[in-house]
Structure 1
Amino acid sequence: MKDGDSENRLGGYLRARRELVTPAQAGLPPGGNRRVPGLRREEVALLAGISADYYLRLERGRDKNPSAQVLESLARVLCLDDVERTYLLGLAAARPRAARRKRPEHVPARVHHLLAHLDIPAFVEGRAFDVLASNAMAVALSPRLRPGENRLRSLFLDPEEQAFQQDWTKAAAGFIAALRTTIGDDTDNPRFVEVVGELALSSQRFRTLWARHDVRDLAGGTTTVVHPVVGELRLHRDKLPVDDVILVVYYPDKDSESDERMALLAALARSASEGTAGPPAASPAPDPKAP
């Protein structure tokens, strides 16, 4: 990944997390004349039971092979949860790999058939959050779910998508943390480099969140969106791995107000398509960089 910590991912992560932990969280008195709200390097070293010089070497990338015991101590001091702790351990275990060429992601034929038969919003996304295929209900929910769109790009650069998200701030932070997890040690992946590079140049909010080094699970959850026609929808989101891609489905609670509004959205979508051939219910996305 072409950012400031591309050659020192372990050190970059330690520094970012250290700057986010307050003295109070670490059990230290706030003190005076602190330049930053986070912990000092020597405080982290003291609390982790290692020398300040050794911790400095870790942050600066001079020692990239700390023991598991040292990493566990640092995870405790930095208040990492299970996902973040696993990510930290993975950074130390990662080894350099030869650069790989860009490879198109493939949606299995059976998934196209499944999308066509689902009457809830469903789409397929790639590892960099490219929309690879979608059904009619997904497009009715949001035009940004058409094949060929990129969900990260929409989230940070499209005002309509930002209005669509009831809590855009939370959604943005969650997407970036999920992207960090998805990338893992695949930092030379051309599509990741492309997406991160574009957003880093175009969005201050993206740059701020990227610098935090947050990570999170790629599981689903519940989200609330504001559709411009049917209004607020509270939807569950499930992410299901299929080969090398992810099938994403959105659905409301049965017999809820959101369920009624989703039924209205489906009726409006059917009405709008009457008398026209329209696109197939699910279609593959073109290569984002194809001419």
Structure 2
Amino acid sequence: MGTNDLGEFLRARRAGLTPDAVGLPIDLGTGRRVTGLRRSEVAQLAGVSTEYYTRLEQGRARQPSEQVLQALAEALQFDDIERRHLFALAGTTAGHADRTGSVSRLRPALRQVLDSMELAPAFVSDRDLTVVGGNTLWRLLFPEVAELPRRERSMARWTLLDPRARLVWNDWERVARDYVHGLRLAAAAQPRNQRIAALIGELMMRSAEFPAWWSEHRVQERSTGLKRLHHPVVGDLELQYEIFTSVADPGQSLVVYSAPAGSPSQERLRLLASWGTEPATERTQHTVTQDTVTES
């Protein structure tokens, strides 16, 4: 997180709006030298002085009131996620200590739930965005992630840094951007989480795309959606995902992939599951056969 993330977030959102979009009159016959809204226009919409809003963007005004934050969220047309992100950046969560330093554990009961999903790849991640455990089908679907050391086992990190991820995700850029947007949301909610800060620093240094996407200040929280991916053994898959928050384990989330009954993707998951039960030598032979068929 930077020293003026609140100001940069406001500036980025201001640049993405036009007077017409927020109901302000358009200056006919006069050239606008800024893209998006002027500071004075945001201040007018929020009911604050231009001088105070300018200080907010420049990082010279600290801890704005809840009333001001609500007004800014309305003025800039924030959705619920962006509104929550704004409040987090303003320090409304400063009184709550981030739970860092301890290693998350996967409860036996939750492990049992994972293992019971024979045709649904599933994994659990913690508040550090680290994968703490996954079932057999998830490990077969994402073997490169499953084999990583615990401290590096992050879907966001793997997607942005491992070149093989670009071959797995059929729409890699969309998936990668989603992870960046979710990471910014997590970083704002946990400003003292050193593991998330370290991940951001690594991505800044090692990912060609991350710095530009991070500077967009987009935030997003997806709890459901569709992922399209390619597996070298069973081919293309279209999987719906759902994310569930564990009440018994604060900070842990269960991510479940599934395919409609009888669909080609479900049949391919079934094939992947049976392939995973074969002895290692048979799996190797099967993979070689598949590659030969693909090449011929």
Q: Which bin holds the TM-score, normalised by the shorter protein? A: 0.7 to 0.9
For 1:281, the equivalent position in structure 2 comes to none
For 2:204, the equivalent position in structure 1 comes to 200
For 1:284, the equivalent position in structure 2 comes to none
What do residues 94-122 of structure 1 show as CA deviations (whole Å, max 9, x unaligned)?
Answer: 33677876221111122223333321211
Further displaced range: 87-96 or 236-245: 87-96
Report the secondary structure of 2:164's partner residue: helix
Q: Does 1:48 align with 2:28?
A: no
For 2:106, the equivalent position in structure 1 comes to 107
Q: Contact 1:106 / 1:245 at 8 angstroms: preserved in 2?
A: no
CA distance in 2, matches of 1:23, 1:162: 39
For 2:286, the equivalent position in structure 1 comes to none
Further displaced range: 178-187 or 129-138: 178-187
For 2:77, the equivalent position in structure 1 comes to 79
For 1:11, the equivalent position in structure 2 comes to 7
Cα RMSD between the aligned structures?
Answer: 2.6
Shift of 1:138: 0.7
Q: Does 1:124 align with 2:124?
A: yes
TM-score using structure 2 length: 0.81
What do residues 7-51 of structure 1 show as CA deviations (whole Å, max 9, x unaligned)?
Answer: 33322321222233244434454853535x332322322333322
User: 1:107-186, aligned counterparts within 5 Å?
Assistant: 107-119=106-118, 120-146=120-146, 148=150, 149-186=153-190
Q: Which amino acid aligns with 1:71?
A: L
Shift of 1:205: 1.5
Shift of 1:79: 2.4
For 2:266, the equivalent position in structure 1 comes to 259
Q: Which runs of 5+ in 1 are unaligned?
A: 277-291
Q: Does 1:271 align with 2:278?
A: yes
Structure 1 residues 10 and 201: CA distance shift in structure 2, 3 A? same
Structure 1 residues 98 and 123: CA distance shift in structure 2, 3 A? closer
Q: Pick from 226, 232, 235 the counterpart of residue 231 of structure 1.
A: 235
User: 1:60-71, aligned counterparts within 5 Å?
Assistant: 60-71=58-69
Percent of paired sites with the same residue? 37
Query: Size of the alignment, in residue pairs?
Result: 271
Report the secondary structure of 1:38's partner residue: coil
TM-score using structure 1 length: 0.82
Report the secondary structure of 1:250's partner residue: strand
Q: Contact 2:11 / 2:57 at 8 angstroms: preserved in 1?
A: yes
What do residues 208-254 of structure 1 show as CA deviations (whole Å, max 9, x unaligned)?
Answer: 22122222224132222122232221111122223032222111011
Q: Contact 1:144 / 1:151 at 8 angstroms: preserved in 2?
A: no
Shift of 1:266: 1.5
Q: Which runs of 5+ in 2 are unaligned?
A: 284-296
Higher relative contact order (CA 8 A, sep 6+): 1
Q: Contact 1:134 / 1:145 at 8 angstroms: preserved in 2?
A: no
CA distance in 1, matches of 2:270, 2:12: 45
